[in-house]
Amino acid sequence: MDANALLATGHIALWFLLLGLFLPRLTLFIAWLETGIPINPLPDLVNFVLWLVFPRFLIAFYIYTDIGVNNIWFWAYIATGIAGLFGETGYARRRIVRRTVTTRDRTGATTTTVEEEEV
């Protein structure tokens, strides 16, 4: 297989493939506004649900139906989709720890403060 076949974009625009790696939902929305979604056998409801939940895998499916799996674009979208599934979940949980602390002074008044700590 030569490099031209590996980097081929088929009927999908290059801007769509590049922007889709970084902002997949926005890219799919712009493509839908501009020319409609790429031709595929999926029903519109399935396209919409995949756009909401797994946009990179939806683009990978578009690439698969247009170009096939022997392409760098297909594997780039599969890799970024898997990285997105497993790489983002722990980040949100570890970011900030919030604790509510209630203290009393000598007069008996209570003061409630929230302490935030980045972990």
Give the contacts of 110 (CB within 8 A, at least 6 positions apart). Answer: 102, 103, 104
Q: What is the mean pLDDT of residues 87-115?
A: 67
Q: What is the mean pLDDT of residues 99-119?
A: 70
- Sign of the Cα pseudo-torsion (35, 40, 45, 49, in order): negative
Task: Please give the distance of CA 68 from its chain centroid, rounded to a whole number.
Answer: 22
Contact 8, 71 (CB under 8 A): yes
Q: What is the pTM of this model?
A: 0.69
Q: How crowded is the C-beta side of 110, counted as CA atoms within 13 Å?
A: 4
pLDDT digits (tens, 9 = 90+) for 26-85: 999 998 888 767 777 889 899 889 999 999 999 999 999 988 898 899 999 999 999 988
pLDDT digits (tens, 9 = 90+) for 7-18: 777 788 888 899
